[in-house]
Structure 1
Amino acid sequence: MRQNHRAPNRARRLVPAIALTAALVAGGAVTAAPAFAAAGPLSLTVNAPAVVGFAGGPVEFTEHIGNAGDRDTSATLEFEIASDLGTPPNALSLEHFDAARGTWQRVDMPQRGEGGRAVHTGILAELPVPAGRGTDVRLRLGVPMGTPHNGDTNGGTGPKLTFRTGVFGQDSAGTEPPTVIREIKVEGITNEVSGVPATAIRGGAPIEFDEVLKNPTPSAYTNLGNVLFADRNAKVEVRGADGAWSAVPAVTTEGEPNAGFYLDGRNSSAAPNSSQTRRVRVSYPAGVPVGNTSLNPCVFVNEGDMPFRGTTMCSQGATVRIDAPQPKPSSTPEPTHTIDATATATATTAPTAPSGGSDQGGGGPVVQPAGDVTTAPAAPVATTAPAGGSQAADARPVDGHLATTGSDSDRTGLIAGLGALLIGAGVATFAGARRRRTT
């Protein structure tokens, strides 16, 4: 399992480490069925764990040395742990419980290279093995990747360990010692975001989503940093058990555009085989640029005084598009032009010839020739308000955007005007023709 340490704004470079971590997470039982081997009077049963946590605490198990002989003896356990990846110092640990002292004691495990793998070996000698009963040896195996508050920042371990144990008794000379080989997976703790909205409005309401911290291993994690990286101008809040939102301080580093937000504070912890979900919300102030931004989750183990430096595991983040708020529509209505329903208009009507009259006589009206007829425009027709109604409310607009209703009455004024024009022209033509006949 690989890891890195410089996380702010480096999530993409840390994703390969997490991709490897995710590939290791395969579930399964915490402990496997014991493996058994026997030769002569001694036998060996190994109850090794199926999984240990990368950069987590050690996992306890037992090995039983059986003695089928009729006398007490002593035995030596020989251990070999091989990893496909080169391991830095303090990457692996094997401890045994010293009953006489009541404390855990570290088994010295020097490392050597062998066939492209890192191989660690150690022994535990002079173990009393009573006749007919045997003895239990308490062990615990871990992949701490450093020491408390001094996590390894390079190297890795896994993705599995080949764990071999052999037992040698006082009378083992010339016989094949009992040996048990087990494969132990190395899995890591992860945090991930879920349900992140695709867009956010700068200066607007925050976006909400879940952040899940998962520890699928039997290892306990301490000195833990559960971090969400976001724009350093963002406001990050976490909802508590009482439903109240609490702002999380931004931790920035020089030269990095993003800030880290410790969702559980620094030096938090995670129990074995646990999952914790937090509701998070993030808001962006009005001054942030429009465009894409990222939300990247990372876990740090055994950080020192410098933030974001320790054994690092990052998960796939999310991309959020920051948009500007939409302009508000104008609240001032455009003015409308109406005509007063009480306004009247007059039209000039062409004179009519007297019935049977003369064109010269006695002060009678003079009929104009047809070519000299002047036609007045038809007067606009005002609508009639219904009983009890307001004429101003029913006035017909004259701004050229009239609504059509399909009623013939809307064209009454136009028809009346055309009719008056035609009648006037006809009378004038008739009068002109009669005048020519009488001269």
Structure 2
Amino acid sequence: MRTTNRALRQARRLVPAVALTSALLAGGAALATPASAESGPLSLTVHAPNEIGFAGAPVEFTETIGNRWDRNLSVTLELSVDTAIGTPPHALSLDYVNAQGAWESVPLTVRTEADRTVSSGVTGAILVPQGGKEVRLRIGAPMGEPHNGASNGGVGPTISLRSTARGPQDAPAETAPDTRTIVIGSISNSVVGVPGTAVAGGAPIEFEVQLANPTPSAYTNLGNVLFADRHAKVEVRGTDGTWAPIAPVVSVPDDPAGFYVEGRDSSAAPGSYGVRRVRVSFPADMPVGRTSLNPCVFVNEGMPFRGTTLCSDGASVQVIAPSAPAPTSVPTAVPTAAPADRGGAPAAPEGGGAPAVQPAAAVTPAVTPAVTPAVTPAGAAAAAAVKEEKPLIAADGGVTPWSEHPAETGGSLAATGADTGWDRPAAGVAALLLGGGAALLALVRRRRAMR
């Protein structure tokens, strides 16, 4: 009887082990199936872009479907984009060229998994002749419709595109998933060569406003804006060497004015770089002290300064009285930008206008000392700017809070509201899973010891 009980206990211990081994073998076989599909009748090669522009136009690429069957096949492409957890719907776009030769959107379904957000969809039927076919696709991070920027959150700093080709039911075959990482870059502007001092009522100071688009995305509905004191006079030099004044845009009392260096609804081609020579003068009754010059790019504005917002480091200028001697040591360009934290953004004023004041509390900046426009972090995106600086991004409707403490601020790429705390939930989930696994292992060992 004792021998029989011992055998039963051994059998009970053996059954879970056999079941686990069988499950692992079955799982291994299941995981091996897609990989072996590459040696079947279909193959897939993805030529995804390395980078796309945040809030820019979609970037075209190709995927080559190989067909080793002895007949034409009707194939679909299953596409998934993995992003950081919290990415909102409609923050991505995927299109392909259909059988009629026209661009067609791939409807995307968004779901949240343990550590990421997945946007997935399937193309229509693609006729692939013997030998194979190259399929044209494009992917983008649109950030809203024209003249309605920042209306759908953001994404970044990278995304992961996963593609699978699947054959028809009468010729069941599929390829192993092909996964590519894509960087989310951005356009940016900057001020270069700003003098450290300016005389109230004196000659204007000259410098450059540079606009850089290092991404393969085209940008339209663009506003290349320089923020300055509302009493300043800003002029831009034309190609013929003459200077033309820029009308200030201010709709909120006492806020700095925005000056559109290239007018509203300008554009920037992929990989482009432009320089405009600008000069600024201050009236004789301008209060002495520090004032700020700050560059921001707005994409798809609805109203002035309401759209996808990307701001870079600005410069601080000391305004002196006409008879006052120039300071012996004055910095030529003191960076002034918004904190690169991941906090939420303030609400924009009703009716548009200059962005609201923050970060700590709502504060209306006074003319003296002049305030520094910057951008509350709120999305995607990671992109190189001029001189390797990275713009601050706000994706909350174009809210641009001002900072009166430039020494406390930085110029790194901020996040859109969609990715607030992205790194923290992922780390927390990972820690929870690791902790749970360790506890389970300890429990199993304890139960075995008790036996």
Structure 2-normalised TM-score?
0.62
Q: Which runs of 5+ in 1 are unaligned?
A: 1-36, 329-439
Cα deviation 1:364-388 (Å, max 9, x = unaligned): xxxxxxxxxxxxxxxxxxxxxxxxx
1:130 corresponds to: 129
Moved over 4 A (4+): 171-176
Alignment of 1:5-404 (within 5 A): 38-84=38-84, 86-100=86-100, 102-131=101-130, 133-152=131-150, 155-170=153-168, 177-304=175-302, 306-326=303-323
CA positional deviation for 1:170: 2.6
The whole-number CA distance in structure 2 between the counterparts of 1:79 and 1:43 is 15
User: What is the percentage of aligned positions where both structures have the same residue?
Assistant: 57
Q: Measure how far apart 1:157 and its partner are.
A: 0.6
Distance 2:169 2:211 in 1: 52
Asked if structure 2 preserves the Cα contact closer than 8 Å seen for 1:86 and 1:156, the reply is: no
| Deviations 1:57-108 (CA, angstroms, capped at 9, x unpaired) | 01111111110121221111100001125333432101112241x4311110
- The Cα shift of 1:171 comes to 6.2
Cα 1:297/1:222, change in 2 over 3 Å: same
In the superposition, the TM-score normalised over structure 1's length comes to 0.63
Q: State the alpha-carbon separation in 1 of the partners of residues 106 and 226 from structure 2.
A: 37
Q: In structure 2, give the amino acid aligned to 1:203.
A: G
Q: Mind listing any 5+ residue stretches in structure 2 that lack a counterpart?
A: 1-36, 326-451
SS at the partner of 1:170? coil
Deviation at 1:129, TM superposition (A): 1.3
1:39/1:176 contact within 8 Å kept:
no
State the alpha-carbon separation in 2 of the partners of residues 327 and 71 from structure 1. Answer: 87
Task: Provide the C-alpha distance between the structure 1 equivalents of 2:163 and 2:262, rounded to a whole number of angstroms.
Answer: 40
For residue 227 of structure 1, report the CA deviation from its aligned partner: 0.3
Q: Distance in 1 between matches of 2:109 and 2:324?
A: 69
The AA in structure 1 aligned to 2:155 is T
CA distance in 2, matches of 1:115, 1:158: 18
How far did 1:118 drift? Answer: 2.1
Matched residues in 2 for 1:276 and 1:268: separation? Answer: 12
For the aligned residue pairs, the C-alpha RMSD in angstroms reads: 1.9
Q: Provide the rounded CA distance (Å) in 1 between the counterparts of 2:166 and 2:39.
A: 10
Counterparts of 1:44 and 1:309, CA distance in 2: 42
**Structure 2 residue identity aligned to 1:189:** I
Contact 2:164 2:174 in 1 (8 A): no
Asked if the contact 1:231/1:294 (under 8 Å) is kept, the reply is: yes
Q: Which moved more, 1:86-95 or 1:64-73?
A: 86-95
Q: 1:327 and 1:166, CA in 2 relative to 1: closer, same or farther beyond 3 A?
A: closer
Change (3 A) 1:154 1:85: farther
Partner amino acid for 2:220?
Answer: T
